[in-house]
Amino acid sequence: MSQYYNSKKTRGLFDSQAPEPFRLSRSKIDSFTKCPRCFYLDLRLGVSQPPGYPFSLNTAVDTLLKKEFDLYRAKGDPHPLMKHYGLDAVPFKHEYIELWRDARRGGIEYIHPETNFRVTGGIDDVWINPGGELIVVDYKATSKNGEVNLDAEWQESYKRQVEVYQWLFRHNGFKVSKTTYFVYVNGKTDAEAFDGKLEFDIKLIPYIGDDSWIDGVLKKARRCLESDSPPESSPDCDFCAYYRARLGAEGE
């Protein structure tokens, strides 16, 4: 058994009788929207999905982008990418910017009174426009032929991600723009040789967020966790499909 995967956890499980708020991360909210059964097994019974492999190159790109935008944040100047796309904004300077970025420490959070969930999320960046509106920004990295976009079905989770961030900032008293931006970098593969470096095309993709779904989903998630039995699995859940196929193959 892998030393990195604990197939049965005992900490961080939901207890409906506990008075303190239950921490629910942005990624767990997304997990619920994908498959309530896997969500229940994870947070109520302690059986979590196997982790995916770390994307170290994506992490490196993320770190370097943050460093680059921080240079302009310190000066209060717009980044050249903003100028290129005609966006009137600058990186937002705030004492909690590093905390908001740190998902392990909680990121930005809000206690939802109707569910007693402490909703948390770690952002990539936030900018501000002349009207005082905060602009939620997320970094994405890939390598594909053609232009990057947000049209694939699996990218719906990207959209939910930034909408949760918008919701969190609004509930922390900030004025938030409806428009979010994805700083999408695409690794180029048309060079003649590697030469120890990888070049990227960078694109700024706007997205109009709508966080109206979040309150309803949080209430459904609470009812799910309070149930004495797990809900039906999502028909689109790969983990549940694998489990059913394995049971069938083993004759159980």
Residue 206's nearest CA partner among 244, 248, 152, 150 is: 150
Half-sphere exposure of 66 (CA within 13 A, CB side): 15
Residue 124's nearest CA partner among 106, 102, 141 is: 102
Q: State the pTM of this model.
A: 0.91
Measured in degrees and rounded to the nearest 5, phi and psi for residue 207 equal -145, 130
Measured in degrees and rounded to the nearest 5, phi and psi for residue 10 equal -120, -10
Domains and CATH numbers, the chain: 23-250 (3.90.320)
Query: What are 188-232's pLDDT values in tens digits?
Result: 877 777 777 777 889 999 999 999 999 999 999 999 999 999 999
How far is 80 from 82, CA to CA, in rounded Å? 5
Q: Which two tokens stand for residue 34?
A: 């994908």
Query: What are 35-59's pLDDT values in tens digits?
Result: 999 999 999 999 988 877 667 778 8
pLDDT value of position 2: 46
